[in-house]
Chains A and B, each alone.
Chain A
Amino acid sequence: MRYILLSLLFALVHSLSSQVTASFENFNLPPDTFLNNAAPNDAFVSDPVALPNNYNPQWMAWTGWAISNRTDTLTPGFINEYSAMAGSGANGTATYAVAYAFDGAIIRLLGPASGGTVLGLYVTNNAYAYYSMRDGDPFAKKFGGPTGNDPDFFLLTIKKYRNGVLGPDSVNFYLADYRFADNSKDYIVKQWTYVNLSSLGAADSLLFTLTSSDVGAFGMNTPAYFCIDEVSIQPTVSQKEAIPALDFALWPNPTSDYTHIRLPEMASAETHQVEVFDAAGQLLLQSQVLRLPVGTLAPGLYYVRVQTRQGVGVRSLQVVR
């Protein structure tokens, strides 16, 4: 019996010690600043996750993820789009990630974490979204409406990709919930809240989507922002067994009609599976050739996933006209 308990304790300790957490502290930001534009890379990497970022310097527009340690929890409006309402990172850390997710946002699991289980992460509202929901703004409504009785909500839904396939299961987290019959129970999240994702199981990446009760013809009126921190992952395979990351390049990128996939020399001779996903994670193209025709795709941001026996890699692809 003692032997069994010791074995279980050992397994538990081993299990805990093998958890990895992305805390975004590796960016070493100066105080009260943010980091946007991951160029020349397509993502911010905080081992073991990559947070895709698409920044257009010409238009100063972006989507995906930014890294921030902004502490301003008082200023409403777009000008405060990089602040978390908690005023710092989760668990006393300084740095966190901010998502602008009008079309959803993805985080990719890297190295041994790919195929592992995301145990959970901390989530809170972004200051811009928080004040917009609390007070309204020229475009979005004050949650609850004039009477306070409108059953408004701001919902974060998290799903997983495994081998390029979007899983059926999801975890819902209400960043704001005004659906209670008793209005005193209505709330907008302003502290870091742990969201358990272990029910999703093994994943290569996670897809975050936002939905709001305040929707118009131009889409969701509520600012499509949220913040995460302390993403903890349980790799299911050892370093040896993990599928290694495949390094490859796309050229030309951006493109309007074709893009070529340049694989490392060792991988180029192998059978390869190429898949193209849109920003929402929907599989659009599958191919086994290295010259991808993308002329039929609408202009926008896509993800190209290549799998060989050497490993699996994902790169973003910009289609323009």
Chain B
Amino acid sequence: MIGDGFGFRKKIVRRFWVRGGLAGLCAVFGIFAADAQTDSAQMLPLVQVVATTARVQPVGVRTERLDSARLTVHAVESAAEVLFRRSGFYVKSYGLGSLATTSVRGGSGAQTAVVWNGLPLQSPMLGQLDFALLPVFFADEMALQYGGCTSAWGSGAVGGALLLNNTMTWRTGLHGHLRGGIGSFGWRQTSAALRYGRSHWATSTRLLTEAAQNDFLFRPAPTLPYQRQTNARLRQQGLLQEIFIRPRPEGATLALRLWRQYTHRQIPPTLAQRRSVAEQTDDTWRAMLHWRKSTQRGLWEARAAYFDELNHYRDSLLRQDTRNRFRTLIGEVEAAYRPGKHLNTQIALTHAITRARTPAYAAEAQQQRIALFNAWTWSARRWSAQADARLEQIDGRLAPITPGLGLEWHFFNGWQVHARIARHYRAPTLNDRYWRPGGNPDLRPENGWSQELGLTYRCQSTAWPGSISLTAYQRRIRDWILWARQSGQFFFSPQNIAEVWSRGLEGRLNLQHNTDWGQLHLTVGYDHTRSTNERPIASPRIEAGSQLFYVPVHQLFGELSARWRCWQVILFHQYTSSVVGLNEPVPAFSVGSARLQYFWQKNHWQAGAFAHLENAWNTEYIVVERRPMPGRHYRAGLTLGF
């Protein structure tokens, strides 16, 4: 949905003081799916939707937004499950609750950036994030940026970016909710949220605890009887604490955020493994201080964050016990200024220091990054244009300068064209540089250019609002880093040996029908992705022109939602074509799911119920070779709020 971002670009900061009923409550508490524009006689808490910058809504970048109301449908899920069902992000899931990475527009897992309130979350050791460890409950908004946004978010935002935002709320009084859910395979989840907002300060607390046996039945082969998955237990606890301070209602705001999460997962055996006793814990501390001040013509922001993540892998059978830990300190100052009626400029300076330790490094690895981002945006009634660039230095080495140029043109009534050309890069990860054996400190960043062109039509009809869009893109990345083995070399090491050409088409249809009795909403998306190796490589065995591992050529998904009074039914379906695996092809699969939700409200009390049917057609499928996925299963729960 082009341009459906976090506000309008015409003003640097724009506030919406939304007064309504159900929708606003949902926006704050995420209790029930309802669109933010819904009105009601009920008094709403005041929600400040902090608005846009050139990074959050860059011109010419296709962005899909999931606001808190839409996220509510997925409130008990992880980001991996959301993206799997309703976006063009291909999610490479190793199983229920297991590791999940993404590929966007034919990129690698390390070419998807994850940004939390403006700062990147990817592990500097791996260059990627496990999307199964991102509870949707901890985000108020999600935005999916397709295509490279390296100039905005730095290294890694080559294929796309997932933005996770938390919104500030003021003068809400005391609100809270408690949600409990049970489901198949011993799934239990309890979450609680408590918000209290005064004029000058506010606080928000979210607690999450989840457990599952994940002992689903599967058939290792079509001729064999079903057997139960073993060693797949999950246990997770999380806390997101936010404190907001605002000395004056129109003055600067200060947000303190603390995200603490502990996840213990057993790692089930593969289909080709007799048993597994491996397990892994991920212990995460994320703290962020975010200061923000807006003026008539400008916006000032400063962020400081400390991320401390420990991954502890152990396998008593194989006598492995490995602790991988990184700590990152990030500081960023950002300013946006509107020198003229149509012109905005934004500048950001970021400094990050990382220290990482794993037994596979000879010593503690350190990395220092300094980056400068600048964007100029010109917006008129029909035209918007943006020129941006990023200059980054990593450990004293200058990374490729990544300029970008985006255009949007609104013409006739409801039509829009967008285009963008940009350069991208991905710096080698710390594992690429220091892992023993093989680490290569002399690696160059992956880099290349992308171009995209899209056409969108929006229908503003009251009864049948909707949009349809088609986007074409292509991207060539050179010096693609691949762990490979050269002739005579007896171990794999990362090398800048690959060149990848990605190109594709993305189509989206959003159609809504508003009637007196309720609302129907249909979303359909199709992605055609060709992402090919342009050079032959001996080991791993890759032929020129071959599709990348784990990048599907076809992805099709659809969502049909119907809302009537207090009821809502949502049907999902998605098809993923066969992908090239490391050992054998992974067959195409088609999976459907359904949601039923009920919401009840009286005075200041709300209650809701949900029932989820997953893999409704009981499809036997795998996403990753040798890793079975569960058949039909269920989740259900209750929500109480005030």
Binding site for B on A (CB under 8 A): 54, 56, 58-63, 75-79, 100, 102-103, 134-138, 140-142, 145-147, 214-219, 221, 278-279, 297-302, 319
Contact = CB atoms under 8 A, between A and B. Distances in A.
B320 interface: yes
Interface string B412-439: 0000000000000000000000001111
B274 interface: yes
16 contacts: A61-B437, A61-B491, A76-B318, A77-B315, A78-B320, A142-B274, A147-B224, A216-B583, A217-B542, A218-B492, A218-B541, A279-B488, A279-B490, A297-B488, A298-B489, A300-B488
B274 A136 contact: yes
Interface of B: 220-221, 223-224, 267, 269-276, 278, 315, 317-320, 362, 436-439, 485-492, 539-542, 549, 582-583, 626
A278 B437 contact: no
Contacts of B491: 56, 59, 61
A103 B278 CA distance: 30
A60 B437 contact: yes
A59 B439 CA distance: 9
B490 A146 contact: no
**Across chains A and B, which 3 residue pairs bring their CB atoms closest together, nearest first?**
A300-B488, A77-B318, A146-B220
Nearest to B435: A59
A319 B487 CA distance: 11
Given A78-B318, A138-B270, A319 B539 contact: no
Contacts of A134: 274
Most A-side CB within 10 Å, residue of B274, B278, B320, B542: B274
Q: Identify which of B224, B439, B491 gathers the most chain A CB atoms within 10 Å of its CB.
A: B491
Nearest to A297: B488
Contacts of A301: 488-490
A267 B220 CA distance: 65
A298 B221 contact: no
Interface centre among B223, B275, B583 (most CB of A within 10 A): B583
Contact of B273 (A61, A135, A319): A135
Contact of A217 (B224, B487, B549): B549
Nearest to A59: B437
Nearest to B436: A59
A142 B272 contact: yes
A60 B360 CA distance: 10
Contacts, number: 115
Contacts of A75: 319
A154 to B, nearest CB: 14
B155 to A, nearest CB: 25
Contacts of B273: 135-138, 141-142
Query: Which of A56, A134, A138, A141 has the most chain B CB within a 10 Å cutoff?
Result: A138
Contact of A61 (B220, B224, B490, B539): B490
Contact of B270 (A136, A297, A300): A136
Contact of A146 (B271, B318, B487, B541): B271
Contact of A278 (B220, B439, B488): B488
A173 B490 CA distance: 24
A321 to B, nearest CB: 9
A224 B121 CA distance: 38
A141 B220 CA distance: 13
Contacts of B487: 278, 297-298, 300
A266 B495 CA distance: 45
A218 B542 CA distance: 9
Contact of A137 (B318, B437, B540, B542): B318
B437 A135 contact: no
A314 to B, nearest CB: 16
Contacts of A319: 488
Contacts of A136: 269-270, 272-274
A102 B318 contact: no
A136 B276 CA distance: 9
Query: Residue among B224, B488, B542 with the most chain A CB within 10 A?
Result: B488
Contacts of A103: 488, 490
Contact of A216 (B269, B437, B582): B582
